[in-house]
Amino acid sequence: MKIAIAEILLSIFLFTFIGIGYDREFGEPTFFIKYKPNFKLIYSSQIGESDLTLDDLSKENRQKEQTYVNFYENSPISDEFQNAIILIIPLLFSLFSSGLISLLFQKKSTFKSIGICFFLNLIIFYILGIFYWNSGWNFSHMLLVLGLISYFISYFILKKPTKLDRVN
């Protein structure tokens, strides 16, 4: 039970480091790693490519623009390290879903089961990424779909009876 709670807390902690940034010019979404944790997921420019300045914006929109610039445009994390996002997202969903299934059904998750979930989530993440990128849908919807699929993957992997279950 402690391991399941630790898996869930670790996945929530990892979630606070991912974001979806929308390009200032074209509005294309990209996943990125935030340099400090927070629960804000979507970052977009309030100015875009217009001739507006920060002084022209309301206080709320000015704060959103500054957050966008700080987290997305001027992030101190290198572009090479940003590529790790394709591993972090499937990992956090694997940890969260296996921890949740372990808590709900009193099943013990193992490194092997989490590894299988991670590998399947990685494949599904690529497939969903291609589908969502070409369809122009919102990436936050993709995360929701990936979370549901991850839950069912973990359910079927962890609900499979083990040798000890068959003996009893």
What's the pLDDT tens digit per position in 74-91?
A: 888 888 888 888 899 999
Last residue of a domain, one of 81, 96, 111: 81
Question: Does 59 share its domain with 138?
Answer: no
Q: What is the pLDDT of residue 97?
A: 92
Q: Which of 57, 81, 105 is the last residue of a domain?
A: 81
For CA atoms 135, 32, 9, 39, the dihedral sign is negative
Query: Averaged over 122-147, what is the pLDDT?
Result: 82
136 and 147 fall within a common domain: yes
Q: Are residues 9 and 35 in the same domain?
A: no
DSSP class of residue 47 equals S
Higher pLDDT, 118 or 55: 118
Residues 88 and 76 in one domain: no
Judge if 107 and 56 occupy the same domain: no
The predicted pLDDT at position 163 comes to 57
Regarding whether 128 and 156 lie in a shared domain, the answer is: yes
Domain limits at 91?
Answer: 2-14+83-167
Looking at the structure, tell me whether residues 152 and 73 fall in a common domain. no
- 138 and 118 in a single domain? The answer is yes
pLDDT at 167: 52
Q: Which two tokens stand for residue 141?
A: 């919807």
33 and 58 belong to one structural domain: yes
Average pLDDT of 3-22? 92
**What is the rounded average pLDDT for all residues in the chain?**
85
Name the token pair of 88. 């972090």
Indicate whether 31 and 99 sit together in one domain: no
Residues 61 and 142 in one domain: no
For residue 118, what pLDDT is reported? 92
In whole angstroms, give the CA distance from residue 114 to residue 57.
46
